[in-house]
């Protein structure tokens, strides 16, 4: 009985946390305050950065099986590659590749919350209601489930970007959806 209503919620939470957790890998980057203009520059710059990344992968022999995040981080650590990427992103108004990576991270996180943030809140509230109203779940198990939902809600709240960032990505939702789905490396 528990799995019937907990599974969809847990699936959504796990997917969201996994997507967001990989952004923790770039947590050392400063939090970027997004504007619609910044997001527009990011969207415009991505094809050129991706093309340069593919070129650098061949030039520097970076393994093809690295995740997108690992590849971006690798470029930031290779002096010659970073300077080439600095030049590419500079044409789009970014100060350097590290600033572009911070924008990538902030944009991906804001986009994830813009797409599913309120849905997660409602799914958690729905799951809590189902738990409370299910007479077949023993009270001890209900309390454990309440605590798990509380911890999940706290983790999600800690990852939530500023509302300004969420608002900044909304005009680009379709473009970002295609960009993040097609490349599979923003996460």
**Distances in whole angstroms, Cα of residue 132 to Cα of each of 8, 9, 148, 149, 153:** 17, 15, 14, 12, 17
Cα separations in angstroms, 131 against 122, 154, 155: 14, 19, 20
Question: φ and ψ at 14, to 5 degrees?
Answer: -60, -45
Q: What is the per-residue pLDDT across 87-104, written as a single tens digit (0 to 9) for each?
A: 999 999 999 998 998 999
pLDDT of residue 42: 97
Q: Which two tokens stand for residue 44?
A: 């415009």
pLDDT at residue 105 greater than cutoff 80: yes
- Domain locations along the chain: 33-115+162-183
Q: Give residue-wise pLDDT tens across range 69-80.
A: 667 777 667 778
**Per residue in 4-17, pLDDT tens?**
333 343 344 334 44
For residue 78, the model assigns a pLDDT of 72
Please state, in angstroms and rounded to a whole number, the distance separating the CA atoms of residues 177 and 102: 18
Q: Does the pLDDT of residue 114 top 60, yes or no? A: yes
Average pLDDT of every residue of the chain = 78
Q: Contact at 8 Å (CB) between 114 and 173?
A: yes
Q: What pLDDT shows up at residue 166? A: 94
| Exposure of 69 in the CB half-sphere (CA atoms within 13 A) | 16
Name, in order, each residue with C-beta under 8 angstroms of 58's C-beta and a sequence gap of 6 or more.
none
pTM: 0.69
Tokens linked to 32: 């970027």
Q: Does residue 1 surpass a pLDDT of 60?
A: no
């Amino acid at each position: 009985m528990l799995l019937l209503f907990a599974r969809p919620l847990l699936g959504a939470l796990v997917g969201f946390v996994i997507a967001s957790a990989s952004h923790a890998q770039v947590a050392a980057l400063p939090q970027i305050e997004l504007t619609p203009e910044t997001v527009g520059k990011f969207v415009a710059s991505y094809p050129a950065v991706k093309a340069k990344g593919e070129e650098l992968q061949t030039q520097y022999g970076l393994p093809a099986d690295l995740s997108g995040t690992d590849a971006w981080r690798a470029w930031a650590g290779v002096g010659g590659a970073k300077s080439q990427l600095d030049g590419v992103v500079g044409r789009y108004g970014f100060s350097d590749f590290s600033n572009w990576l911070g924008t990538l991270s902030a944009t991906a996180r804001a986009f994830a919350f813009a797409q599913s943030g309120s849905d997660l809140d409602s799914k958690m509230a729905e799951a809590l209601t189902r738990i409370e109203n299910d007479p077949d779940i023993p009270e001890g198990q209900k309390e454990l489930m309440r605590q798990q939902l509380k911890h999940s809600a706290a983790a999600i709240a800690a990852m939530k970007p500023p509302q300004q960032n969420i608002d900044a990505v909304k005009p680009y939702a379709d473009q970002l959806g295609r960009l993040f789905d097609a490349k599979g490396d923003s996460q």
